[in-house]
Structures are given as structure tokens and as C-alpha cells.
A and B are shown apart, each in its own frame.
Chain A
Amino acid sequence: MRIGVASLEHVHAETYVRLLHVWDGIELVVADPGGDAVEEGRRATRDRIASLGVTILDSYEDLLAAEPDGIIVCTPNSQHRDLVERAAAAGVHVLCEKPIATEVSDAVAMIEACERAGVGLMLAYPVRFSPGMRELKSALDRGEIGRVLAFDGANVARIPIGDRAWFGDAELAGGGAMMDHTVHLADILLYLTGEPVIGVYAQSNRIAHADDVDVETGAVVTLEFASGVIATIDASWSLPDSNPTWGGLSLRAIGDSGELSIDAFGDALRGHAEVGARSLWRSYGVDTNRLMLAEFVDSIRERRAPVPDGRDGLETLEIVLAAYRSARTGQPVPVERG
């Protein structure tokens, strides 16, 4: 099987390249048009990938001409559609970085293009593959904490603009921290509850990194589910640049007869080193990116629809867009369906 990585613009692209490069039975193709004349972070990624012996193609035409079975779309958020439509037209399955798009119309067009072409459209939500998160769902389904009243989630991180400036560009990214970080937990919460979100209240600010970007860096988003359950998501880029790890994702469920909580990236050694006078954070344990890629590869091999799919991506995008409307108006808003 041949898998293509389309663009190295996303910070996750290098992770996918490294995993697929050594994946048994996978032939890797990488394209990064325009990537050699840009910022240092992306150039450094290209250098590291080249040093693995991986060739980096200069156009998506060349990538699709290599006839991959599937591609991973790693362009900026607002530029997913064109590439997804081209892949679909070529009969190529797609794993798309999150959020699926920055406009509902783009997301719908992508879903329809893939459906028409009979190719899979999977969304890159790695936390779905966290075994702990699956155990959390099964514990909730077993009724371990009774009826859930509320969820309290945080996906808090360093600002990613040091590696890729476009994350702070409203046009390319569709927003800042709220666009970048609400969707992971929103997706998980939809998966855990199995219910739609009917209302959203969000507040955002730009206190951290006020001089570095024009987009929001602080965001607290609350989701109201059909049953009345309330979930809070801190989606902020509020960790200092010198933080020993990129960030994390935690979730607590408050039930009427108990509580459950998970720190999805909690498998890590913590320490402090005299050299460089810095705190240490060394992650270990399950690599959810690997499990996510395995689902993509398996879905292609088994000729079935991948999970999570484009509709999951659309549902989470609708929630984020509602969050922006709420932050703008200062009032809770209903979720508008595409």
C-alpha cells in the first residue's frame, strides 16, 4: 500500500512521516510544494525528513501521479478542500487534519466529493484512539458514576506559531486557539455522550501572546448537550514557550454517584535537569497517532468507512463556529447544522 503525506505545513506531518517511513508494508510518498522557500520551522522539518532518506516531491500532481491508495492532508485548515477534492477525483482515500475546514460549505463539499468518489474521508482525531479514553467511555456506559451531570475538559498548550506561523493567521487557520483546540474534546465528548450539542457559550481573549498574533489565545467553551449535560473545554494556548511539554488533554466527568477523570498524555516521566536548568517531561506509553494511522490503513485495506469520519469533522466544526458566534455576541447560541 502507498500512503502520501500532502504538505509539511502542519506540525503533525513530521510525526506521520516518521511513523509511516518504518511501517511494514507501507510505501511512503511525501509532497511539500513551496516548502523550501519558507520559515525555519518547516525547513528544519524538511531537512530532518530528507535525512531519513525520504524524497520530498514539489507538487501535489507528482504526489497523485505516484498513485497513492490514501493521502494525509496536512495543509493549513482553510486549504483542505481543494486537495481533498483532487484526491477524491483521483480515487484516493483521505485522512484530513483537524479541523476539517474553516467553513461549513467547504466541509460539506469535501464530504460529498468523497462520498461521490467512493473514497473514505477520515478526520485526524488521535485522542479517539486513546485506550484510556475508550475505557472512560465503557465506564460511563456501564454506569460507574451514575448519570453524568457535567464534563470538565482542558486541551491547553503552548502556542504553536514558533514552528508554523500560519496557526496564528486568521485567514489560514480560521481563528486561533479556539479553532485549534476545541475540536479534539468536542469530538471526544460527542463520542462519549452519543448525543448532539444543542447550544454553545464561549468566551475568548488575547491576553497571552497579545503582541505575537491577532487571533485569540485564551478560550473557554461550554457545550450544552440535548440531555442537559454541560461540558466545559479550556482550549487555550496558555502554556509558556519554555514549558517542558507541548501541553495536554484532560477530562473529568462528574456523575450523580461519582467522578471519573483522565489525563490523556499523563504517561510521562517528570524531572529537572541541571544542564540547561530545565524541567524535564518525557512521554512514553501508547502512541495514539500510530493507532489512528492504523485505522486509516486498515479501513483502506478492508474497503470500509474509517472512524472518525468527515461527518464527525463537520459536527465538531459546527460547534467551533457556534463558539465564535457566541464569543462575538457574549451570549449562548444554538448550533447551526450544515
Chain B
Amino acid sequence: MSGIRVGVVGSGFIAQQHLRSWRTNGAELAVYSQDGEEAARLADKLGIVAAATLEELLEFCEIADVCTPTDQHLPVVAAAASAGVHVVCEKPLARTAAEAEEVIAVCAAAGVRLFPAHVVRYIDPYVAAWREVERGTLGAIAVAHLSRSGPRPTWSAWFEDRDRSGGLLMDLLIHDYDIAQWLAGPVRRVWARALGDGAGGKEAGVVVLTHESGAISHVEGVWDAAGSPLTSTFQLFGDGGYLLSGTTPGTDVRIREAAGTVRRLPTPPAPGAPGPFEAELADFAAAVTTGGAARVSPADGLSAVRVAEAAVESARTGVAIEIEGGRA
């Protein structure tokens, strides 16, 4: 993909992550953000161009990588599509299913590709599990557990506004809704509860998904104090066997200190081996170049938003929400 021209829209946490990964992948980069100062700082650090306007960025690039807050995806995607630029859109595709459908529609109408950035599909243990499921080792999935825990996203204020981000049940757990559907097929019923005051303290979400196949996925997530480690686990039980995700430290070096506490030194990426963000963005760029399919389709992104929207609705109303024929 060396030399492909990518314009990243946004300057927050995920924009910075994507910028680094596109750069590792050899893309030609530019950045635009409403926060012009931050965009200039990032551009300076990476030695790339900061576009003065979105139009200027879209004129430069073949792929626009939309990393704005969730409720600001649609207008940026629409602008990119009308400029004839392919789109990578950070998850969730949009704040509501109706908006996600529009995101897809504007891209389809303009004839540009759309790639919802569900990075967990590119994280090693999930990829390994998916291959095993595809191979049929587990048989049909009967029950799955997917859990995710990490620091509250305090780096940007809009996450705290549930109307904008959807909160934990949407922004964090959409990763696992996507993985659940990837591994066990479409979801038809959703029940969820949000726990904790959500006012900056610890917050948890518990979700039960019932798939069209009858499989049940139990999804659980925690937003913890700043600085708490990002961890995720899964257990898959099928009629032919089961698969449990590896222990969290994996190959990381563990240091046992005098006081008995255990610290981890995260394993650095191996030379030449792409991390999940690099693998994800490379897959999207390759799909643009070859015209082939990427691992995540626009329909996958929409479907994950539908489940997330149903989870938020279930937590609000207390009832289980049916997703009829793939439509909540």
C-alpha cells in the first residue's frame, strides 16, 4: 500500500493511533481536525501536512479515515463520499442504526468503499478463534462469553455524554457484539443492564445476546479508573468442543517485585509483524487497491450498531429487544 494517500479526520486518541499505523504501513498522510492546533501539533510531530479545511484534506486523499466523535461520523463521511473518496470509519459506524444506514447509503450512492474499523477482528487471539470456528473444530457455537475491561475514556469529554457516545454499552461493547456475530452469526434478541453511577466512577455493562442460530452470547464490560489495564477474554463452547482465550500476560515479561506485586512489561511488536491497527488498515487499503472484500463489511458495521442500540434500549426500558430480520 506504500504511497496510498490517506487523510485522517480528527486528532483524538484513535486518530493518533491510526496516524501512527498508517505511517508504519507506508501511507502518504495528511490530517485535518476541528481542533486546528492539535492537528498542527500532530502534523509537526509526524512530519505530515495539516489540512486547513476538510475540503482541502479530501482533495489530497484517496481514503478518508474518519476518527471524529461517533455523532460526527455521518457529516464527514457524506463529505468524503461526495468528494469521491473511500472511507474508513471508526466504530461505531454511527450513534444510531438509522444514521449508520445513511452512512452506508451515501457511500453506496457515491460509489466509494466503506470500511467500519472494528479492530478486534485483527487482534491475534480473536483471529485464531475465528479460524478455528471456520474450520469447524468447535462445531456449532452454543454459548459464548466475551468480556472487556479498560480505563474510562477520559481523554475526550464527549465519551461522557451518552447521547453522543452511547456510553459503555455502545462504545466499548460494540467490539464484542461484532465479534459475537462474526463467530456465531446474526443476533435476534438483546437484553442488557448498565451498572454503576456512570458519573466518572466505575461502570459495568452486562449483555445477553441470542443469535438466530439459538446460540447465546454473554457480553460483559467494565470502564475502570484511569490507568487500569486494557484486558479482554473470551470462552467459546460449541457442540464439538470449546476454546478459552489465553492467559492475559501471554508472552509478556512479568516482574515480581519485593513487595510481592507483579508488574508486566508489555511485549514489543516483533519486527515486521503488524499490530492489529496496522493489519486492519492494511486490509482496508488492499481492498481499495484490489477491489476485493475486507474482513469487515459495511453491513457488519451496521449490524453491530443495531445490537448496540438494542442494548442501550434494553438497559433503558428493562425489556429484551427483538431485532426483526436484522432490523431493530
Contact = CB atoms under 8 A, between A and B. Distances in A.
Contact of B239 (A154, A156, A210, A332): A210
B241 A256 contact: no
Interface in B292-328: 318-320, 322
B195 A228 contact: yes
Interface stretch (B58-66, B175-183, B215-223, B270-278): B215-223
Given A149-B202, A238-B237, A238-B242, A254 B216 contact: no
A207 B214 contact: yes
Interface SS majority for chain B: strand
Contacts of B196: 149, 256
A155 interface: no
B147 interface: yes
A201 interface: yes
Contact of A218 (B191, B206, B216, B240): B216
A257 B202 contact: yes
Contacts of B145: 154, 234
A212 to B, nearest CB: 10
A208 B237 contact: yes
A205 B208 contact: no
B142 A208 contact: yes
What are the nearest 8 A-B pairs in CB distance?
A: A238-B237, A207-B142, A205-B214, A149-B195, A218-B142, A208-B239, A256-B202, A149-B204
Interface in A239-274: 239-240, 254-257
Contacts of B214: 205-207, 218
B210 interface: yes
Interface in A167-206: 201, 203-206
A330 interface: yes
A230 B320 CA distance: 15
Given A220-B208, A256-B202, A332 B237 contact: no
Contacts of A55: none
Task: Give the size category of B's interface with A.
Answer: 20 to 34
Contacts, number: 101
Interface string B185-203: 0000101010110000110
A28 to B, nearest CB: 38
A234 B215 CA distance: 13
A254 B204 contact: yes
A228 to B, nearest CB: 7
A32 interface: no
B125 interface: no
A236 interface: yes
Interface residues of A, number: 36
Nearest to A326: B320
A331 B319 CA distance: 6
A190 B220 CA distance: 21
A46 interface: no
A150 interface: yes
A198 B210 CA distance: 22
A217 interface: yes
B191 A238 contact: no
Given A222-B208, A240-B242, A256-B202, 9 more contacts: A150-B195, A201-B320, A205-B214, A230-B193, A232-B208, A240-B240, A254-B222, A330-B322, A332-B191
B143 to A, nearest CB: 5
A208 B138 CA distance: 10
B213 interface: yes
Contacts of A256: 196, 201-202
A205 B215 contact: yes
Nearest to A204: B216
A21 B319 CA distance: 52
Interface in B235-270: 237-242
A330 B220 contact: no
A238 B140 CA distance: 11
Given A217-B142, A222-B191, A257-B202, A232 B320 contact: no
